[in-house]
Amino acid sequence: MKYLSTRGGTDLLSFEDTVLTGLAPNGGLYIPAYMPTLPENWEKDWESLSFTELALNLYSLFISTDEIPRADLKELIERSYSTFRHPEIAPVRQVRDNQYILELFHGPTFAFKDVALQFLGNLFEYFLKRRNANKKEGEERESLTVVGATSGDTGSAAIYGLRSKKDISIFILHPKGRVSPVQEAQMTTVTDANVFNLAVEGTFDDCQDIVKALFSDTTFNNAYHLGAINSINWARILAQTVYYFSTYFKMRKLIPSTSTIQFAVPTGNFGDVLAGFYAKKLGLPMEKLVVATNANDILARFWKTGRYEKTASHDEPEATDEGAPNKQLTPAAGSGDGGQSGAVAETLSPAMDILVSSNFERLLFYLALEGCTEGVVADEMESDVRTAKACVASTHVLDWMTQLKTKGRVTVPKLAVEAARRDIIADRVSDEETSEAIREYFNEKNSFGSYVVDPHTAVGLVVANRIKNPSTVAQVVLATAHPAKFNAAVAVALEDIPSFDFERDIMPPEFDGLLDMPRRMIDCKGTPEDVKRVVEKEVARMIGEASMEGVQTKMNGASI
C-alpha cells in the first residue's frame, strides 16, 4: 500500500513516510492509493474478535508487513489500548428504543482522540527507534518536532501519547480562552520536558493555519523534522475506523437481523465521520452517515447548497454541472486557508468551533473521483485508468482548495454533491437545543435510565432525533467526550434539577485537584513567525540540555 496527496504530484509514500510526513509538501492530505478489499468471510471471521484484534486485522489492510511485521504491529496495538479504563475500549450503551451511545471517552484523557493518538504516539516512537538503532555514539539522531493545533481534546490526547518519549518534542497550539477549563488543565499541567503548550491569540482555525504554514515552510520543516498529530495525519483516520467495525459487531448481537445501523457523528474537523466514510467504502454495512454540527455549520451548509464556504451566501446558485477547474486562479502556495474571513461562533461545544474542516478535503477527493472523472482514460504517462482518474480528481481538489483560499468559497459540481448526499446527511444545532438535549437525557424516565452527555454528544443526539427513520434502523450516536470535560455547559444545563449533583453524577476521580495543579504555558501571538521563534528557542534549549547531560554522563563514567 502506498499513499498519495489529495492535491496530486508524482510522489507515492510508504506508510512510515506518510505518518512521519503528516502533510504533503503541496498542502494536500495523504490518502491510500487505492481502497483495499475486506477478506471474503470477514463478517464471520471477525465477529468475535476483541477491539485490539479487529485493529490488527484492519490496520494490516493498509500497512505492509514489510514496513511493520505483524508481531510488532500487534504489540503496538496492545500497548496503545492498555491505557484505556474499559475492557471493551469503546463500549455501547442503549439510551432509548433503537438508539445507542458509542462511548469513546474511556482513554487517558476522556475523549475519542485517545483512540487514535495513543496509537500514533507509539508509531512515532517505533519508527524513530528503528531509524536510530544503528546510530553510533556522537552521530546525530533522527528526531521529530510534533506541531499540532487543538480546539481542546486533540491537544491533551496528543500530549498524553507523546510525553517523555525519546527524540520527540511536542508543541500544541490552542486558542487562548476558547477551550474548557478542564481541557486547558489537562494540557498545561503536563510539565514533561518535551511538552510545550502555546496559548495563541485567535481561533482554532488560526492555530490550524499556523500549523499548516509551518509544514509548508520547506526550510523550517526540514530543519526541525515536523510531525503532525492533527487528523491531517492519515494514521489517525485509520485508527478511528476500528470502532465503527467493533460497534457493528456489537450491534448485530443487540438488534434483529433485519435491522440496519446508522451512525450519527458530532463533527468539527471532519476526521471522526471521515473514518466512518472509509469504513463504509471498505464495505461495512450502514445507513447514511449523519453529520451533526453546531452554529459553525460550514458542513451542514455544504450538504444543503453544494457550496463549501466560510460564510453563508445567498447570491450563488446551488451545485451545477460545471466540472472544469477554474484555470484563471493561481494555485495556492502552501496549504493554509489564508486569513479566516468568516467569524467562528463560540458555542457550548467548543471542540466543534471550527470554520474550515481540514479533513473535508479527503472527502472532496472521492467526490471528484466519482463526479468529475467520467470518460477519463489513461495516457502514456499513466499506468492505468485508476491512476488517470486520481490525477484528474486531484486537479479538481487543488482548484477547489485554491478557490476556498482566494475567494472563501467554492461551488462543487452537481454530480459530486449528489455523491456526497448519497452517503451522508447533515444538519446544525443551536446552543439552546444542545442544553435541552442534556436535560432531556438526564431526565429520561424510560427503562434505560438517566444518562449524562457532554455538549458535543448532545449535538449528535439532537440531529439524530430529527431523522425520521423506519423502526428497522438502529441509531448509534458517537459520544466524543466525557461530560466532566465540559463541566460548565453541563452544570448550567442541569442547574435547575434538584436531583443532579455534579460531583456525584459526573466527576471522575482522575479529575480531583486537576484545576489546582501547577501549569506551564507560553502565550503567543497568532502568526507563524511567533510560533517559529518559540519552537526554535525551546528545541535549542532541549538540545543544549541533552548535550550537557551527555557530557555529565561521560564525566561521571570517567570518575568511576
Please list the active-site residues.
113
What are the distances in angstroms from CA 522 to CA 31, 109, 130, 176, 531?
Answer: 34, 21, 33, 10, 10
For residues 312 and 345, give the distance between their C-alpha atoms in angstroms, rounded to a whole number.
13
* Contact present, 428 and 293 (Cβ < 8 Å): yes
For residues 39 and 46, give the distance between their C-alpha atoms in angstroms, rounded to a whole number.
10
In the block, residue with C-alpha cell 461562533: 345
For residues 541 and 549, give the distance between their C-alpha atoms in angstroms, rounded to a whole number.
12
Question: 40-52 burial by CB neighbour count: b if 16+ within 10 A, else e?
Answer: eebeeebeeeebb
For residues 486 and 469, give the distance between their C-alpha atoms in angstroms, rounded to a whole number.
30
Distance, C-alpha 308 to centroid of its chain = 19
* Contact present, 416 and 393 (Cβ < 8 Å): no
For residues 448 and 444, give the distance between their C-alpha atoms in angstroms, rounded to a whole number.
8
Q: Is 309 helix (H, G, I), strand (E, B) or coil?
A: strand
Strands 30-32 and 3-5, by their bridges, are: antiparallel
For residues 476 and 103, give the distance between their C-alpha atoms in angstroms, rounded to a whole number.
10
Of residues 309, 347, 434, 393, the one with CA closest to residue 31:
393
For residues 149 and 144, give the distance between their C-alpha atoms in angstroms, rounded to a whole number.
16
**Which residues have a Cβ under 8 Å from the Cβ of 511 and sit 6 or more positions away?**
182, 484
The beta strand positions in 138-239, using DSSP E, are 144-149, 168-175, 195-200, 226-228
Question: 19-31 burial by CB neighbour count: b if 16+ within 10 A, else e?
Answer: bbbbbbbbbbbbb
* Contact present, 237 and 229 (Cβ < 8 Å): no
* Contact present, 194 and 165 (Cβ < 8 Å): yes
Of residues 557, 367, 372, 447, the one with CA closest to residue 99:
447
The 3-class secondary structure across 27-65, one letter per residue, is CCEEEECCCCCCCCCHHHHHCCCCHHHHHHHHHHHHCCC
Strands 195-200 and 522-524, by their bridges, are: parallel
For residues 335 and 272, give the distance between their C-alpha atoms in angstroms, rounded to a whole number.
21
